[in-house]
């Protein structure tokens, strides 16, 4: 028990030190980055079409990543989630709210398996 507490405290201290170290860095390539920043005139010279194209590409990436996440979670739920962990999934009982105090107490006892 004592070793677990020491391990937790030590890992929290190390984590805080790493986060502090990362946050204190101003970038490894900060000096080189200054030389590559384009002029203000060149930035304003971009046409609206380029901006719209960049926006549409970004939105396409968002849609693609959303679809990949949805597909991955669907496959995970279908094949890797044990359905026996959720024996009380009654579709009729999910959205019903109790109307009286007695129904609320009965529902609480039933869902928490207190009887």
pLDDT tens for the chain, 115 residues: list them.
Answer: 667 778 788 888 888 888 888 777 666 555 555 555 555 555 555 567 788 888 999 999 999 999 999 999 989 888 887 776 666 666 655 667 888 999 888 888 887 877 6
DSSP output for 13-40? HHHHHHHHHHHH---TTHHHHHHTPPPH
Q: What is the pLDDT of residue 32?
A: 56
Task: Give how far the C-alpha of residue 32 lies from the chain's centroid of Cα atoms, to the nearest Å.
Answer: 33
Task: Give the pair of three-digit tokens for residue 83.
Answer: 């359905």
> Distance between CA 31 and CA 38 in Å, rounded?
15
- In the chain, what are the domain boundaries? 2-111
> Distance between CA 58 and CA 65 in Å, rounded?
11
pTM, two decimals, is 0.39
């Amino acid at each position: 028990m004592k070793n677990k507490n020491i391990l937790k405290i030590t890992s929290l201290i190390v984590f805080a030190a790493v986060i502090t170290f990362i946050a204190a860095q101003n970038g490894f390539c900060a000096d080189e980055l200054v030389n590559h920043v384009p002029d203000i005139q060149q930035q304003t010279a971009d046409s609206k079409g380029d901006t719209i194209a960049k926006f549409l590409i970004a939105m396409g990436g968002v849609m693609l990543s959303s679809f990949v996440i949805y597909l991955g979670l669907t496959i995970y739920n279908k094949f890797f989630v044990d359905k026996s962990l959720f024996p009380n999934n009654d579709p009729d009982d999910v959205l019903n709210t109790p109307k009286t105090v007695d129904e609320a107490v009965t529902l609480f006892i039933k869902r928490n398996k207190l009887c």
